[in-house]
Amino acid sequence: MISGKSKVCGVMAYPVEHSMSPLMHNYYSEKTGTDLVYVPLKVEPGRVEEAVKGAYALNFTGMNVTVPHKQEVMKYLVDIDEDAKAIGAVNTLVRTDGGYKGYNTDAAGLKRAMTEAGIEIRDRTCILFGAGGAARAAACVLAKEGASVIYVLNRSLEKAEALSEIVNERFGRRVMLPMALDDYGKLECSSCLAVQTTSVGMHPHVDHAPVEDAEFYKKIDTAVDIVYTPMETKFMKYVRAAGGKAVGGLDMLIYQGVIAYELWNPETVFTSEMIDGARVLMREELEASR
C-alpha cells in the first residue's frame, strides 16, 4: 500500500502513453518487496527544467528520461556520471543533495540484450540508424565491443557528422562514418549488423520504417530495433523478409530498467526468475494492446 514513506519514481517522456516502464518498475517493486511506486510523467518539449525542479520539490527518488529529453535534461542536473558524459545523454536520474545526478543505463542494457540474443559485434560492419541520445549509447557499445566500421545513417547529415566526430575521438580510431539517410543506396556492404535507434515505427506510427526499400534489407543479416511498441516493427519485418535475424527492443528495456532500479535501490538483488517474469508480463501486455 502506498504511504507517506513510499519512494516515488517515474518516466519523463513525450508522448508517454505508450511507455511500458510503469508496468515493469511496479512489477519489480512488488517482486523485490520495495516500497516504491512508479508513474508516467508527460513532459512537453520546452518544459524539462520545470519538470526536473518540480520532481525534486515533490521528493521523487528518481526518474527515467526518454524521447525527446535525454540530452536536454543534462542542463538541469547537479552531477552527471562519467559514462553518461561520454555518451552525451542521460536516461536515469538519481536524487542527491541539491538536485539529481544523471546516469545512462541504455548502453549496458543494449549490450546485455545483444549478448543474451547471441549477437556478436567484434569485427562486424555495422549500420546505425539515428544520431540522437539512444544512438550515442548504441555507438559506444558497438565501438567498444570492436566493430570494424559503423555507418551512421541519419536524416540530418550534420548530426551524423557530429556524432561520428565524438565517437571517433573517444575511441581513437575512425570507426564511425556519417551518411545522410537518403544516401542509403550508396552503402556498399553485405551481412551487416544494424541497430535502429530512432522512434520511426513506434506506436502509433507502426506503418513506417527508416528505409522503405525492401532490397536494402538484403544487406543486413542481423538487426536490433530498440523500439518495443509494437514488438515487431516494420523495420524488423523488412529484415526478416530479406532472410535476416531481427530482435526487438523489449530486452534492452528490461535490462536498462534493472540497472536503473538498482541505482534507486542499491540493496536490491534481482534474480533471473524476476527478469523472466517481467518479460512474460510485458509481452502479454504488448500482445493485448495490438
Binding residues for shikimate: 19-21, 66, 91, 106, 228, 256
pLDDT tens, N- to C-terminus, the chain (290 residues) = 899 999 999 999 999 998 889 999 999 999 999 999 999 999 999 999 999 999 999 999 999 999 899 999 999 999 999 989 988 889 999 999 999 999 999 999 999 999 999 999 999 999 999 998 889 999 999 999 999 999 999 999 999 999 999 999 999 999 999 999 999 999 988 899 999 999 999 988 999 999 999 999 999 999 999 999 889 999 999 999 999 999 999 999 999 999 999 999 999 999 999 999 999 999 999 888 76
Q: Given this model, what pLDDT does residue 287 score?
A: 85
| Dihedral sign for Cα atoms in the order 264, 266, 267, 268 | positive
Query: Please, what is the end-to-end C-alpha distance for the chain in angstroms?
Result: 31
Strand partners, 13: 42
Assign 188 to helix, strand or coil: coil
Q: What angle do CA 112, 81, 266 make, to 5 degrees?
A: 65
2 grid coordinates: 502506498
User: Cell 556520471, residue?
Assistant: 81
- Cβ contact 220:154 at 8 Å: no
Hey, what domains does the chain have and what are their CATH numbers? Answer: 7-104+252-288 (3.40.50.10860), 108-248 (3.40.50.720)
E strand spans, 14-123: 36-42, 62-65, 79-80, 92-96, 99-103
Distance of alpha carbon 13 from its chain centroid, rounded? 13
Say if residue 45 is preceded by a cis peptide, omega within 30 of 0: no
Assign 191 to helix, strand or coil: coil
- Cβ contact 89:63 at 8 Å: no
CA atoms within 13 A on the CB side of 24: 27
- The neighbour count for residue 114, using CB atoms within 10 Å, is 24
Q: Catalytic residue positions?
A: 70
Rounded distance, CA 73 to CA 93, Å?
9
